[in-house]
Structure 1
């Protein structure tokens, strides 16, 4: 696995001071902010507010947001094993209680290519796909039959006909849509790993931003900031780099060519 070092030139274009705890983006340029007051707030690329979801306290702490499908936002409450599905104006479209489907410990969820929901069930060590009523549509083989040491993914992505599960201790695992294992990339101990598409994977550590090209097994590292450890979360979306500071500011940078 080759590795290069380079400088990633970025220019700050916007700062959102919303007391942000977490965020995600969609493919239309919208940003979904989880604020310190437990609101989910949707803003456009200019920072103008579009919609707000206020009823976030009902199920405790939000574990993750998924805006892969801008018409169907997933808000996951891990402690309550509950997924709230919001429409594009952040109105509640459906609520899925995973416990009612005997999924008692889901470590990660993701939007599927057909607008259903992927769930990794840690207790059963199985990958499952459910619809928005909670009905289980597909169940994989028990991962204990596939792996000597079973992964516990904290992130999942459905991209280009494949499902990616990331466990920082086991690597990036690639599956087909029936739960069949296809590949395992040894990308270990990274944070904020994103599968952009089948040819582009980004991640970071406290010092560098990484770009991985699966076809060539090429891992490149870039220095973008003097002190990257000040950022709580860093995500890419197109030519933009979204960086959440530990003080709750979301800084948006343009990646310069």
Structure 2
């Protein structure tokens, strides 16, 4: 009986480990954008154009925001549509917009005391932002309403490549490791970086890019697996729940992620 049990266990583990993730093509749209910054579950699209205008495009409306004093948008987090944050790295500044793209808050880290040299930004819970302080080499959970740091991680010993988060988790990709933090700053996961360059994240999946191939770490999973997808030029990629988006600078393609 014990032998049968172990045979069954080994068989189950092997079947699970051989599960593959496929990206099944759904549809595509032509889009001239400088950078795709977000797609939500209702397919609202957020992007910038060459003149550094930020767009929010739904099926029925198109809203824009421009701040020519701050120039180029380095990154944006659209996870919370009521508190969209735009990061202008060249000016060390974050602008927070509401769902009509009206400016509701501005954080100029050049004037904040103590001074912060910020290189990456992502949204946290409540009135917080995950920021990477380049001078201290620490990830901080920063409350922009009170100008207080709620927590700091230990200093990071390698260059930061990307940072993404939601209310519950923060994913930081460095040259050496992928770090996963809980919303209160505890390190809950660590994976060796095997050549991954950047990442996309939704509440269901984390997607990592290595050259023009994509890989996935599923929710509650502990193994990074390959995604079977067509050979494409991947200029940018995003994920929303089970939907993967790949942009090649002219066409935004939509795929459904399926487990075999």
Query: When the two structures are superposed, what TM-score results if normalisation uses the length of structure 2?
Result: 0.80
Structure 2 unaligned blocks of 5 or more: 1-16
Structure 1 unaligned blocks of 5 or more: none
**Once superposed, which parts of structure 1, at least 4 consecutive aligned residues long, lie more than 6 Å away?**
none
SS in 2 for 1:61: coil
Counterparts of 1:39-118 in structure 2 under 5 Å? 39-44=53-58, 46=59, 48-55=60-67, 57-101=68-112, 102-118=114-130
Larger Rg: 2
SS in 2 for 1:9: strand
- What RMSD in Å do the two structures reach over aligned CA positions? 2.6
Write the distance in 1 (CA, Å) between the matches of 2:115 and 2:247: 32
Write the distance in 2 (CA, Å) between the matches of 1:166 and 1:256: 22
Write the distance in 2 (CA, Å) between the matches of 1:253 and 1:214: 21
CA contact (8 A) 2:163 2:170 kept: no
Is 1:164 the counterpart of 2:185? The answer is: no
Using a 3 Å threshold, how does the CA distance of structure 1 residues 166 and 159 change in structure 2: closer, same or farther?
farther
* Structure 1 counterpart of 2:49: 35
Write the distance in 2 (CA, Å) between the matches of 1:214 and 1:237: 13
Using a 3 Å threshold, how does the CA distance of structure 1 residues 174 and 249 change in structure 2: closer, same or farther?
same
Deviation string 1:171-213 (CA, Å, 9 cap, x unpaired) is: 211224443433312243223412333x632122234221224
Counterparts of 1:158-237 in structure 2 under 5 Å? 158-160=166-168, 162-167=169-174, 169-197=175-203, 200-213=205-218, 215-226=220-231, 228=232, 230-237=233-240
SS in 1 for 2:235: strand
Q: 1:119 aligns with which of 113, 118, 131?
A: 131
Q: 1:125: how far off? A: 2.2
CA contact (8 A) 1:40 1:52 kept: yes
CA contact (8 A) 1:51 1:90 kept: yes
CA contact (8 A) 2:37 2:47 kept: yes
